[in-house]
């Protein structure tokens, strides 16, 4: 599959501070790609280089086959971009601002714009300076999506939005993917990433820690399992199974934490007369915390 975004050895240094250290990424076309990490991990620095707003210290990035630095104007034409610190001309109304951008972009779709305005319940008659943070963010979302771009690069897209509008955003992003667009999404709202992302990359202290399909990350994550047996099971039943942690026996019930596949656990449990199984899949925030707290060097 062709990559919508490729970075090779992409690095950025500010004085003695390394903000991004040799990032290698390939973002598949037609996917939703979650780009995650704690504050200061290098996410916004990466996005600014993808959009040609900052020059790499070393390495390079291509966006839709274009050099992110040399072909910045063409990248901006084809990409829907929402920066994490979105601002607009404060004295214009939302409608005037979107009109202005529409004149700059020959491919802006008026019907698409109106659809987005309606779905996000945005009052475009008010001046931007009078809008709440959430409503200013809606303006940013409309301008990013209204020309049906091949690629969307979104930095904290639901910042300031209420839960209902966050859900609308997820539906809009999912529909864009279904129509063939690629969505590159940096977010602290982990629930939205978990719901719509195909692949997740995690960065920490400027370095790529892991990149994998979200489902694969979940499979390798720690899960809490509770097994209830017909008769009290031997306490040592699961001691020798790789990946099993924190075994607790309470009467007829064994509680354990397992990293990786549960197949060996179920094989060991089956002959003992299992009556009930409760398995909690690790949510994305637990998966991320595990990587954030680990040594990424």
> Which one of 104-113, 202-211, 219-228 scores highest in mean pLDDT?
202-211
Q: What pLDDT shows up at residue 111?
A: 94
**Where residue 40 sits, what CATH number does that domain have?**
3.40.50.300
The domain boundary, picked from 198, 217, 236, lies at 217
Shared domain for 162 and 178, answered yes or no, is: yes
Residues 53, 182, single domain; the answer is yes
Q: What is the pLDDT averaged over residues 63-75?
A: 96
Residue 287 is assigned to a structural domain of this protein: no
DSSP per-residue letters across the chain:
--EEEEEEEEEEEETTEEEEEEEEEEEETT-EEEEE-STTSSHHHHHHHHTTSS--SEEEEEETTEETTTTHHHHHHHEEEE-TT----TTSBHHHHHHHHHHH-TT--HHHHHHHHHHTT--TTSBGGGS-HHHHHHHHHHHHHTT--SEEEEESTTTT--HHHHHHHHHHHHHHHHTT-EEEEE-S-HHHHHHH-SEEEEEETTEEEEEEEHHHHHHHSEEEEEEEESSPPPTTTTTTSTTEEEEEEETTEEEEEEES--HHHHHHHGGG-EEEEEEEPPPHHHHHHHHHHS---
Query: What is the CATH number for 263?
Result: 3.30.70.260
- pLDDT of residue 144 exceeding 90, the answer is yes
Q: State the pLDDT at residue 28.
A: 95
- Residue 220 confidence class, pLDDT cut points 50, 70, 90: low
Q: Which of 21-30, 60-69, 187-196, 280-289 is predicted least confidently?
A: 280-289
pLDDT tier, 293 (very low <50, low <70, confident <90, very high otherwise):
low
Q: In terms of residue numbers, what domain contains 253?
A: 222-280
The predicted pLDDT at position 135 comes to 97
Domain boundary among 182, 197, 217: 217
For 236, phi and psi rounded to 5 degrees?
Answer: -90, 5
**Structural domain contains residue 213:** yes
Let me know whether 158 and 244 are in one domain: no
Asked if residue 186 and residue 123 are part of one domain, the reply reads yes
Residue 252 lies in a domain: yes
Q: What percent of the chain has pLDDT over 70?
A: 91
Q: Are residues 180 and 252 in the same domain?
A: no
Within a domain: 139: yes
- Work out the average pLDDT over 165-182: 96
Whether the predicted pLDDT of 282 surpasses 70:
no
Q: Of 193, 217, 241, which one is at a domain's C-terminal end?
A: 217
Q: How confident is the model at residue 283 (pLDDT cuts 50, 70, 90)?
A: low
The answer to whether residue 21 sits within a structural domain is: yes
Q: How many domains does the chain have?
A: 2
* Residues 195 and 262 placed together within one structural domain of the fold: no
Q: Averaged over 58-62, what is the pLDDT?
A: 98
Q: Which residue has the higher pLDDT, 278 or 94?
A: 94
**270 and 174, same structural domain?**
no
Any domain includes 186: yes
Q: Mean pLDDT: which of 29-43, 53-67, 233-247 is highest? A: 53-67
Does residue 290 form part of some domain?
no
Predicted pLDDT of residue 285 = 62
Same structural domain, 98 and 233: no
pLDDT at 295 over 60: no
| pLDDT at residue 297 is higher than 60 | no
- How confident is the model over 205-210, as a mean pLDDT? 92
Helices 163-178 + 110-119 axis angle, to 10: 150
For 89-142, write each residue's pLDDT tens digit.
999 999 999 999 988 877 788 999 999 999 999 999 999 999 999 999 999 999
Q: What is the mean pLDDT of residues 46-63?
A: 97
Same domain, 65 and 206: yes
Check whether residue 69 and residue 173 sit in a common domain.
yes
**Higher-pLDDT residue of 222, 176:** 176
289 located within any domain: no
Are 53 and 197 contained in the same domain? yes
pLDDT at residue 296 tops 70: no
């Amino acid at each position: 599959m062709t990559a919508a975004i490729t970075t090779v050895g992409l690095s950025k240094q500010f004085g003695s501070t390394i903000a991004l250290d040799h990032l290698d990424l390939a973002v598949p076309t037609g996917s939703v790609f979650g780009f995650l990490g704690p504050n200061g991990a290098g996410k916004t620095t990466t996005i600014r280089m993808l959009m040609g707003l900052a020059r790499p210290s070393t390495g390079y990035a291509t966006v839709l086959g274009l050099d992110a630095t040399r072909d910045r104007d063409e990248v901006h034409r084809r990409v829907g971009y929402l920066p994490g610190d979105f601002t607009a001309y404060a004295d214009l109304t939302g409608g005037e601002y979107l009109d202005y951008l529409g004149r700059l972009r020959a491919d802006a779709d008026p019907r698409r714009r109106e659809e987005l305005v309606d779905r996000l319940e945005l009052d475009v008659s008010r001046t931007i300076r009078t809008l709440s943070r959430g409503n200013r963010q809606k303006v940013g979302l409309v301008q990013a999506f209204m020309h049906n771009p091949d690629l969307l690069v979104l930095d904290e897209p639901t910042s300031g939005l209420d839960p209902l509008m966050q859900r609308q955003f997820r539906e809009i992003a999912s529909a864009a993917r279904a129509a063939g667009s690629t969505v590159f999404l940096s977010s602290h709202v982990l629930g939205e990433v978990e719901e719509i992302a195909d692949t997740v990359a995690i960065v920490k202290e400027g370095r790529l820690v892991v990149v994998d399909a979200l489902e694969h990350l979940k499979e390798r994550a720690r899960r809490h399992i509770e097994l209830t047996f017909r008769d009290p099971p031997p306490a040592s039943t699961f001691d020798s199974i790789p990946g099993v942690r924190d075994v607790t026996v309470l009467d007829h019930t064994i509680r354990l934490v397992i990293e990786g596949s549960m197949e060996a656990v179920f094989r060991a449990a089956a002959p003992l007369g299992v009556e009930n199984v409760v398995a909690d899949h690790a949510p994305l925030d637990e998966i991320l915390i595990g990587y954030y707290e680990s040594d990424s060097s």
